[in-house]
Amino acid sequence: MREYSEKELLKSMEDLISKGFVVFVKWTCEKCLERATCDTPNAFYTQGFTHTKKSDGSICGHTSFPKKFGIVIMKGIVTGSKNDN
């Protein structure tokens, strides 16, 4: 999987979202070294990302701000209002 810097990721997300794709940010958790996927579609957290659940179902809860990101791209429309101002 391709790894993106923060700048590249934001640009790609913007591009994909504008085309109607749903994207989830992926990153490697610093604590347990698992690949984590963001629970919220089309979300980017400048305060850091929290790895909620590990692949075995247990809770991790570690928040970090990754240096490199991956993207999970899905087809679909996220409903709900977004403030574009």
| Residue 31 binds to Zn ion (criterion: CB under 5 A) | yes
Which residues, 6 or more positions from 17, have their beta carbon under 8 angstroms from its beta carbon? 23, 42
Q: Binder to Zn ion among 4, 23, 51, 69 (CB under 5 A)?
A: 51
| 35 contacts Zn ion (rule: CB under 5 A) | no
Number of residues this chain uses to bind Zn ion (CB under 5 A)? 6
Choosing from 60, 63, 68, 78, the residue that interacts with Zn ion (CB under 5 A) is 60
CB contact set of 37 (below 8 Å; sequence gap of 6+)? 24, 25, 26, 72
Is residue 9 a contact partner of residue 71, using CB atoms and an 8 Å limit? yes
Spatial distance between the Cα atoms of 26 and 35, rounded to a whole number of angstroms:
7
Specify the residue, 11 or 31, whose C-beta has the smaller distance to Zn ion. Answer: 31
By beta-carbon proximity to Zn ion, the closer residue of 32 and 72 is 32
Binding residues (CB under 5 A) for Zn ion: these are: 29, 31-32, 51, 60, 62
